[in-house]
Structure 1
Amino acid sequence: MTRSTLVVVPVYGDLESLLRCADGLLEHLDTDRHRALFVNDCGPEADTIERALLDRIGDRPGFRYERNDHNLGFVGTCNRAVTELDRGTGSDDAEAVLLLNSDAVPTAGFLDAMLEVLDEERTGVVTARSDNATIASIPYRLTNRGAARTEARTRAVWGAIAPLLPVSQVLPVAMGFCFLTRRELITEHGLFDDAFAPGYGEENDYCLRIARHGWLAKIANRALVLHAGGKSFSGNRNALRAAHQRELERRYPFLPDAVAAYQRHGTTATERFADALVPAGPAPRLAVDLRHAQDADALVREIDAAFGDGFGLEARLPAGTTAPARWTVASDTPNPDDLVTVAVLVDPTPAEVVTANRRALQLVVVRSAPPSVPWSSRTHRTGADTVAGIVDRFAEVVAPGTLASARARIDASLAAPLEDRAQALEARWAAVLPLDLTAAEVASANAADEVTRLRRELDDLRASRSFRTGQAIAKVASRLPGRR
């Protein structure tokens, strides 16, 4: 279906970002099919912004400017634009509405890519990839913890991996900075709820409201819209976000778990490791866990000789083990979302394989156990033997003393074509996914069991004679002279 699109840009402040947005639409919006509506929401510099914006868009066909009588906020401005100022072309089934933040910058082909996804079956909302859009950001997770996610970096990484991603993916909710929906859904279900005025959370509510009627929110992986973030909104953002998040969770208690599940299992391995697949900047990071090694000191020397040149090494070591000065020794459990290029494991347990799979682009496993292992060994007790097949397929498996050969193979893997590396990564991700899902389910069940246990203990305590006696004593004591 070829849809016409109304692009609504609510305008409040930050003239520089607004003009970048306008320039992006002037360059990339096909006004033979689509139209843009800028609505001035009467911010502190409304007159200055009005003059500059009108000077920029002029009388260009397909571009229109309106101004509110008074400040309505983002929610009110979007609702007025769509339901009063421009009610559509007369055919709801052929109309789309794109709500675009004034600090968003469209790039070539963005709207065609988004409309292609909107036309997929039961798709109600579509968002784009960006440099600053929470779970829609590319790259989302970073290998250099101190790095910034710049527009230039996002363009480079997205340009490389977008062709390797599916055209679309289902999201729990879409991102509001660039929010495409069907006109017929607005007609049937309304747009934004005033409970979320002046802004924040309204797009999530809309997505979940129409989801009750079978409509999906998706991301268009072939669309890129850059986003400065927070440039056109005033007031106490944090307090407003927190209040509106509480309202969302009151209406949709499952939302936090849905977002967490998407972040854990809904993304592809290619996008998860995008920052490592398209490397830039400092030396790649290698993480090593030698806490279970029988001779950690010998492995430290061997790993340093094999990988110390060209990698930034960080390690978890048993007490008393000395690491070279160029190593970083970690004292706490690593965050599985903190990416590294290579992880070195020693006789790993299934849980350690799951964590390393989520964290490392490449795996090296040092297997020290002999072929025949007694049931008293750690290998059997931890279930390490059950993941041996996965490890053999997707990791560089070496014996102590042969790590130099693993370095050569790792270097060759990192130099392979991007498409080949992404395919290998996706295959490993799919193989480990059942273990990962089981680990998440067990952790969730354990947490629920712990809450149940504590509640039971509290109920037992309250029912006990000693607790009731203590309460009675406290009441009497409170009435004694001199007590307050």
Structure 2
Amino acid sequence: MTLERLTPGAEVNLNRGQTVVVMPVFGGYEFVAESLAAALRHTASDVPLCVINDGSDDDRIGTLVEDLGAAGQPRRLFYIEHESNLGFVESCNEAFERFAPADVVILNSDCVVAEQWLERMQAAAASDARIATVSALSNSGSIISIPERNEPTEGLPAGLSLEAAAERVADVSAQARPPLPAAIGHCMLIRRMALELVGGFDPVFSPGYGEEVDFSARCTAHGLAHVLADDVFVLHHGGASFDRRTDELTELHNDIVFGRYPWLDQSVSEMAGASEGPLDGALMRASLSQRRLRVTVDGSCLAAAWTGTQVHTLGVIAALASNSDVELRVLVSPNLSPETRALIAAQGPSELLSTEDVDHRTRKSDIVHRPFQSGSPSDFEYLSRLGRRIVVSQLDQIHFHNPSYSIEA
């Protein structure tokens, strides 16, 4: 591997159809060292890699790249060094221009990749001629975060390595390549035809944040699409480049993006909140490869007189609580007797949730199950606050044809 220092005007000579991995860097040496080592280890040797040192004041970064270049491995390793910090947007635009006509992967310097990551992203990109960008699943990736949907987390679940997490995601993936409203910038493949059609990132978003969303919206307006490589998982430490400026930049640049594209906010919100469809299914499969299934059982009937319904409900609770692959929450009436509460608790659920405490802030389980009949459409609206998917066991139809019947009687 020979280090190629790129000076202004230097020729690179890449071909259309090739892909180059670009890592803009500004500080964060420990993150850069980890990310770069993983990218070199898990990326095919015929794929060029470029580090853009965007005015970092840590000399260790330049030394690291120099040492890697002297290692003698069969790979083109490019190095661009800025005298001052130009920002993420300008660094990416420089890469887009220098490496034409190749496709470009922008890999954040705080992202760590695993085996087959690029091959799978390239396969997703090749699955449809209209695809402009491909994004990868991550622990901290906005609406494509797992195992907590829409909730970026630090690191990986306890006891799980990146290699194991990535392998599990790939194993359960249906390779559905679900559509996204926009690219997610921690790890994204951008096809050259999209850059040629709409141009690069808008400098108004310098130094960074929101540039990939604006780019994506321009692509969408031209009939192109964005997809998730639902068989690729990368570790994203998050925020290494911008630190405390993150919130301020995000708010400012979001105002610009949603001002330009009024339709985009609703599109993102709908996809983030959807409980069905290709993206929801892909995120559910990937999430469950890294954590237990979360189930809420509606046990509100257990405050009533004990009949077959109550016996059945308690049996469902006991069966699920004994399953080590399930994290169980039980919904209970505030009027629950101490004896019944103790009986339910003895089955071993993770949590008892009072019906009085359910509101729009209640965390949703993967599934909410009512093991007894529902008598009103409003029941389903209520259950939707508790789980992303609703399962109802309609044991009989008595509630519908006998107006005197009530499970609360």
TM range (shorter): 0.7 to 0.9
Select between 5-14 and 326-335 the one with higher mean Cα deviation.
Answer: 326-335
What per-residue deviation string (whole Å, max 9, x for no partner) do you get for residues 100-148 of structure 1? 10111122211121112222121111111222212222323399x9997
Does the residue aligned with 2:262 lie in a helix, a strand or coil?
Answer: coil
Structure showing greater radius of gyration is 1
What per-residue deviation string (whole Å, max 9, x for no partner) do you get for residues 198-257 of structure 1? 111100000001111111011111223221111232342111111111111111112221
Distance in structure 1 (CA, Å) of the matches to 2:401 and 2:154? 45
Aligned 1:84-103 pairs, distance under 5 A: 86-88=98-100, 92=101, 95-103=102-110
Task: Give the corresponding residue for 1:471.
Answer: none
Q: Tell me if the contact between 1:142 and 1:338 (Cα under 8 Å) persists in the aligned partners.
A: no
Equivalent residues, number: 368
Aligned 1:311-322 pairs, distance under 5 A: 312-317=328-333, 319=335, 322=338
Residue 276 (structure 2) pairs with residue 262 (structure 1): no
Distance in structure 2 (CA, Å) of the matches to 1:51 and 1:18? 12
| Structure 2 alignment gaps of length 5 or more | 1-14, 346-350
Q: Which amino acid aligns with 2:28?
A: D
Q: Tell me if the contact between 1:296 and 1:321 (Cα under 8 Å) persists in the aligned partners.
A: no
Task: Give the corresponding residue for 2:175.
Answer: 166
Aligned 1:322-361 pairs, distance under 5 A: 322=338, 323-325=340-342, 326=345, 328-330=352-354, 331-333=356-358, 338-340=364-366, 343-348=369-374, 349-353=376-380, 356=383, 359=387
Q: Tell me if the contact between 1:174 and 1:204 (Cα under 8 Å) persists in the aligned partners.
A: yes
Distance in structure 2 (CA, Å) of the matches to 1:336 and 1:378? 30
Task: Give the corresponding residue for 2:214.
Answer: 205
Q: Tell me if the contact between 2:114 and 2:166 (Cα under 8 Å) persists in the aligned partners.
A: no
Structure with larger RCO (C-alpha < 8 A, sep 6+) = 2
Q: Which amino acid aligns with 1:38?
A: V
Q: Which amino acid aligns with 1:113?
A: R
Distance 1:315 1:261, change over 3 A: same
2:204 to 191, 195, 199: 195
What per-residue deviation string (whole Å, max 9, x for no partner) do you get for residues 320-367 of structure 1? 655514362323225576215662343224454466578267835264
Q: Which amino acid aligns with 1:98?
A: V
Select between 303-312 and 202-211 the one with higher mean Cα deviation.
Answer: 303-312
1:127 to 135, 150, 175: 135
Task: Give the corresponding residue for 1:35.
Answer: 48
Distance 1:22 1:272, change over 3 A: closer
Q: Tell me if the contact between 2:25 and 2:32 (Cα under 8 Å) persists in the aligned partners.
A: yes
Residue 324 (structure 2) pairs with residue 307 (structure 1): no
Distance in structure 2 (CA, Å) of the matches to 1:301 and 1:165? 39
Distance 1:81 1:350, change over 3 A: same
Q: Tell me if the contact between 2:24 and 2:88 (Cα under 8 Å) persists in the aligned partners.
A: yes
Aligned 1:54-65 pairs, distance under 5 A: 54-58=66-70, 60=73, 61-65=75-79
The two structures have a TM-score, normalised by structure 2, of: 0.77
Q: Tell me if the contact between 2:35 and 2:109 (Cα under 8 Å) persists in the aligned partners.
A: yes
Does the residue aligned with 2:243 lie in a helix, a strand or coil?
Answer: coil
Q: Which amino acid aligns with 1:370?
A: I
Distance 1:368 1:317, change over 3 A: farther
Does the residue aligned with 1:236 lie in a helix, a strand or coil?
Answer: helix
Distance in structure 1 (CA, Å) of the matches to 2:150 and 2:227? 23
Residue 64 (structure 2) pairs with residue 52 (structure 1): yes
Q: Which amino acid aligns with 1:333?
A: V
Bigger helix share: 1
Distance in structure 2 (CA, Å) of the matches to 1:35 and 1:279? 32
The two structures have a TM-score, normalised by structure 1, of: 0.66
Identity %: 25
Distance in structure 1 (CA, Å) of the matches to 2:17 and 2:153? 43
Q: Which amino acid aligns with 2:81?
A: R
Distance in structure 1 (CA, Å) of the matches to 2:153 and 2:130? 40
Residue 382 (structure 2) pairs with residue 365 (structure 1): no
Distance 1:106 1:182, change over 3 A: same
Distance 1:26 1:2, change over 3 A: same
Query: What CA RMSD, in Å, does the superposition of the two structures yield over aligned residues?
Result: 3.7
Distance 1:271 1:336, change over 3 A: farther
Q: Which amino acid aligns with 1:202?
A: E
Distance 1:155 1:108, change over 3 A: closer
Distance in structure 1 (CA, Å) of the matches to 2:33 and 2:133? 26
Q: Tell me if the contact between 1:139 and 1:154 (Cα under 8 Å) persists in the aligned partners.
A: no
Does the residue aligned with 2:219 lie in a helix, a strand or coil?
Answer: helix
Task: Give the corresponding residue for 1:73.
Answer: 87
Distance in structure 1 (CA, Å) of the matches to 2:153 and 2:305? 30
What per-residue deviation string (whole Å, max 9, x for no partner) do you get for residues 65-98 of structure 1? 1101210111111112322xx242xxx3xx2111
Task: Give the corresponding residue for 1:436.
Answer: none
